[in-house]
Structure 1
Amino acid sequence: MDRRRFGLALVAAPVAAVPAMAADATLEANKKVVLDFYEKALNQRDFEAAAKHFGDRYIQHNPTAPDGIEGFRRFLAFLKERNPNGRNEIKRVLADGDLVALHVHSRREPADRGLAIVDIFRLEAGKIVEHWDVIQPVPETAANSNGMF
């Protein structure tokens, strides 16, 4: 490789890293939004504190939960009344593009075996606009010793 082409390669390398760094920053920012939302909403049961993270709409894919931001308010009120001691422990956080997924151990009461949940949130411009989840009870016994978390 002659010196001119080698010099161009050195100049181009840092420029190519800029979009990757911006993408990484967005993924980290999205994770922070979802983590704060989850703590405020599902652990503190504080709709007003969590609501700042909603976009202009909230599309709900869980068939047992009402759609929309007001639907989420009602869902949270239901949880607060029905399971006042409920607690959710986030085990893993994953982000890809505009999606953030949480692997969660949810308990209605501290002594419960609880539920294994994967919550998936889609964000637009740093705001939560869509949600999916998969929920599975933690069994008393398992066919393997790997654990769910």
Structure 2
Amino acid sequence: MSSVQERNKQTVLAFYEAAINRKDADAAVQLVGDRYVQHNPRIADGVDGLRAFVAELRETFPQLHAEVRSLLADGDRVVGHVYGVRVPGQPGTAIIDIFRLDDGKLVEHWDVMQPIPAESANDNGMF
């Protein structure tokens, strides 16, 4: 893996910690490029959209925590497989995030989320 890809993975980890776990919008926006394109339909583009999203998390789910289970880097993209729990004690959500980075900054984001069911047809787990 190239040093750029490793740096990109570290940037994504820092973003999860700042935006999701600490809900610190000021720290999170430092990791975002001049143009931040958001593909999650609930979040607006740009720094203002990110700030509004973090504020909503802080207000609605103050104990939300994201645990990054794996990160994969390929070119300018980093994919995270993440276990998110909005409220402690709830089963949580399995999340795949895809970030595109440019010059070490997050410039684009996609995600897919799946609630973790109470029962499963197999014993493999979602992680």
TM-score, scaled to structure 2: 0.97
Amino acid at match of 1:95: A
Relative contact order higher in (CA < 8 Å, ≥ 6 apart): 2
- Normalized per residue, the structure richer in strand is 2
Post-superposition, which runs of at least 4 consecutive aligned residues in structure 1 deviate over 3 A?
none
Q: Deviations over 1:74-114 (max 9, x none)?
A: 01100110000111111001100000011000001110100
Amino acid at match of 1:44: R
Identity of aligned residues (%): 52
Structure 1 gaps of 5+ residues are 1-22
Query: Once superposed, what is the RMSD of the aligned Cα atoms?
Result: 0.9
TM-score, scaled to structure 1: 0.83
Verify: 1:129 aligned to 2:96, yes or no.
no
Count residues with an aligned counterpart: 127
Verify: 1:144 aligned to 2:122, yes or no.
yes
Verify: 1:39 aligned to 2:17, yes or no.
yes
Structure 2 gaps of 5+ residues are none
- Normalized per residue, the structure richer in helix is 1
Q: 1:78 aligns with which of 51, 56, 63?
A: 56
For residue 45 of structure 2, what is the aligned residue in structure 1? 67
For residue 88 of structure 2, what is the aligned residue in structure 1? 110
